[in-house]
């Protein structure tokens, strides 16, 4: 069973990762590159007015102390993005395939449902409090954002499990309350004020593009994972 899960996850992760990278190259990456021009212009203006210390090249987005290294623009950057997307796809596909193994019979249609649930848990629910961010956007401290994100993912997963699996209405109500809890507490916000260097239209376009491309990624991952898992299982049983 483990070998079926692993093979399915690798196949699905590669297919979804390649498709996701193509979608990002078409809709998401141009917005990131555009935002970086605004960020670079803002840093140049700030360094040009600083007479107390030499300018630095820190690219932290609120995360102090991290190295500013990054892959070079062009083929290298796209290749690293592709590698990351494939690895992420394999990781999420492992979770989906484990659910398929516990759930029983699945097909690509049910896989789409599982994919949408994964999108809701890992992308949509956290985005209500922490929408996707472009370089140069104001953001809360990294640790605060990570803690809230993990709590939201866990609460959403637990809440959905209660809603769909629990038989008693009281537990379904608990599930709804659990999903709402992180949003009632509220996501962390930046501790400083000031205008953003990015146009609001650019940030809004990035949020919508990110959410749409992630939705397509999860639907494809769910559908391909379910189809591959079923196909490999049938072949193994008839061998």
Every domain of the chain and the residues it spans = 1-38+73-137+196-239, 139-195
What is the pLDDT, as a whole number, of residue 49? 45
Both structure tokens of 3: 């070998």
Report which DSSP code applies to 45. H
Report which DSSP code applies to 71. P
pTM (two decimals): 0.84
What is the pLDDT, as a whole number, of residue 47? 55
83, 85, 100: which is closest to 225 by C-alpha? 100
- Is the Cα torsion angle 120, 94, 151, 171 positive or negative in sign? positive
pLDDT tens column, 102-121: 887 788 899 999 999 999 99
CA distance 232 to 229: 5
pLDDT tens column, 189-210: 876 656 667 888 998 999 999 9
């Amino acid at each position: 069973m483990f070998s079926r899960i692993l093979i399915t996850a690798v196949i699905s992760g590669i297919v979804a990762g390649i498709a996701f990278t193509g979608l990002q190259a078409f809709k998401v990456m141009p917005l990131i590159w555009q935002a970086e021009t605004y960020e670079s212009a803002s840093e140049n203006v700030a360094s040009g007015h600083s007479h107390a210390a030499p300018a630095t090249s820190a690219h932290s987005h609120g995360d102090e102390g991290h190295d500013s290294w990054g892959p070079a623009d062009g083929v290298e950057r796209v290749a690293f993005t592709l590698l990351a997307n494939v690895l992420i796809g394999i990781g999420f596909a492992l979770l989906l395939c484990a659910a398929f193994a516990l759930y029983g019979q699945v097909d690509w249609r049910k896989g789409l449902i599982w994919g949408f649930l994964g999108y809701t848990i890992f992308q949509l629910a956290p985005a209500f409090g922490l929408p996707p961010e472009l370089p140069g956007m104001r953001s809360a401290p990294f640790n605060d954002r990570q803690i809230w994100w993990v709590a939201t993912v866990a609460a959403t997963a637990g809440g959905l499990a209660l809603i769909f699996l629990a038989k008693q209405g009281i537990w379904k109500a608990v599930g709804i309350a659990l999903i709402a809890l992180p949003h009632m507490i509220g996501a962390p916000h930046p501790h400083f004020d000031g205008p953003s260097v990015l146009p609001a239209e650019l940030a809004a376009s990035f949020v919508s593009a990110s959410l749409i491309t992630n939705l397509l990624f999860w639907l494809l991952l769910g559908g391909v994972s379910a189809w591959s898992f079923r196909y490999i299982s049938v072949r193994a049983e008839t061998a």
